[in-house]
Amino acid sequence: MIFQLTDELLFPPVEYAEADGLLAVGGDLSPERLLLAYRQGIFPWFEGELPLWYSPDPRFVLFPAELKVSNSMKQVIRSNTFQFTTDKAFTEVITQCGKIKRDGQGGTWITDTMKEAYIKMHALGYAHSAETWSEGNLVGGLYGISMGRVFCGESMFSKESNASKFAFINYMPLLISQGIELIDCQVYTGHLASLGARMIPRSEYLNYLRRS
């Protein structure tokens, strides 16, 4: 059963989600609803005019201690080809994430509504970005939501080879210093699997959220 949300700030139990993780449709992207969703292990996605709300089982996550850095990436990092910053260009990062063409997707799920909502979350201190620069140009990055000990990664982009990996790898020590124990990658991608992400039961993921 897929639930239709109303103006009430309420989500059904995640155990009612469909096999693909789809739980509900509708509602808004207010900070209050977004925070409630993330705290319950739910995230939004757009396919059309209305937001869709997902809570997949199993969940694709990365434990910082399990981060894998290939020898080729170690060479990239040592070469000083890129520079790393955080929260310096959040709007630009989410804009570029919405423009990148991805295999299997005819368009972008980062609509103007989604973009505006996360820019507001950034202004409130919940959404953060990590950026990769080359010769003063933004060439890669990622953004997500910080929830206690969990960082919920939303999207990444690269304009140059390895640029998003560079941002992700360099962001990890900072997240660890902030007490982050788990990176929520949401759904499987080979890109993140190569960095050490793996599947865990949704129940285990929810336990991390509750402890946060």
Mean pLDDT of the chain: 94
Q: Residues 119, 106: contact at Cβ < 8 Å?
A: no
Q: Write the CA distances from 126 to 4, 22, 76, 202, 208, integer angstroms.
A: 26, 24, 30, 23, 18
Question: Which tens digit of pLDDT belongs to each residue from 44-94?
Answer: 998 778 899 999 999 999 999 999 999 999 999 999 999 999 999 999 999
- How confident is the model at residue 1, as a pLDDT? 81
Domain ranges of the chain: 3-58, 60-211
* Cβ atoms of 60 and 186 closer than 8 Å: yes
The reported pLDDT for the residue numbered 141 is 98
Fold of 60-211: Aminopeptidase (3.40.630)
- Three-state secondary-structure class, residue 202: helix
Is pTM beyond 0.85? Reply is: yes
pLDDT at 105: 43
Asked whether residue 102 carries a pLDDT value surpassing 60, the answer given is no
CA distance 110 to 10: 23
Please tell me the least confidently modeled range out of 78-87, 92-101, 155-164: 92-101
pLDDT band at residue 108, thresholds of 50, 70 and 90? low
> What pLDDT, in 10s, does the model give residues 118-127?
999 999 999 9
pLDDT for 107 equals 43
> From the CB of residue 29, how many other CB atoms can be counted at a distance below 10 Å?
19
Q: Under CATH, what is the fold of the domain 3-58?
A: Alpha-Beta Plaits (3.30.70)
Peptide bond into 56 cis (omega under 30): no
3-state SS class at 211: helix
